[in-house]
Amino acid sequence: MIARILQHRRRDTILILLTLLAISSFAACSQYLDRASTDAVDNAIQNNPKMSDLNKVCSVIPIPSSFRFVSKTDLDDQKTTFSINYYSDANLNEAVGLWREYFRSKGWDEVRSEISATKSVLEYSNSKYRVVLYIGDLGYRINHSIYCESL
């Protein structure tokens, strides 16, 4: 009887360890992909004048102090674009007021404003650039994203 209980406990322990290993492997893989994606965008910013100009616009957009950088992603091979992705435990709409004030003070046109308790989108443009701010669950470890595009 005791041997049987120990056998079940051993099996349960092994299953728990395998589950934890799978979770940590997923997280490590995700972090590796985030680093690789960020490195690729940073390389493009250094070597492509249009990406460099776009970065000068997007890197100065203010973010709340609670934001933690996750990654940069290049979303389109046909256009000059990239996104800067963040995670924050703060209220999902904490950044809305900050971003609205920033873009209005810089003379950008507000093209779209969709605000809800769980997901929001703000879109701004000027004669040279378009910026879309996504707020809400956007995937693993991302709940805020700043999408930047040269027009």
Per-residue pLDDT tens for 135-148?
Answer: 987 776 889 999 99
Residues (pLDDT < 50) of the chain are: 1-8, 17-18, 20-23, 26
pLDDT of residue 106: 97
The confidence score (pLDDT) of residue 78 equals 82
Residue 106, C-beta contacts closer than 8 angstroms, at least 6 positions apart: 126
Full residue range of the structural domain in which residue 68 is found: 3-150
Stated pTM of the model: 0.77
pLDDT at 15: 52
Considering its fold, how many domains does the chain have in total? Answer: 1
- Distance from the Cα of residue 15 to its chain's centroid: 32
Proportion of the chain in helix, strand, coil states, percent, rounded to 5: 45, 25, 30
Q: Which of 146, 103, 147, 137 is nearest to 117 (CA)?
A: 137
Type and span of the H or E element at 110: strand 109-114
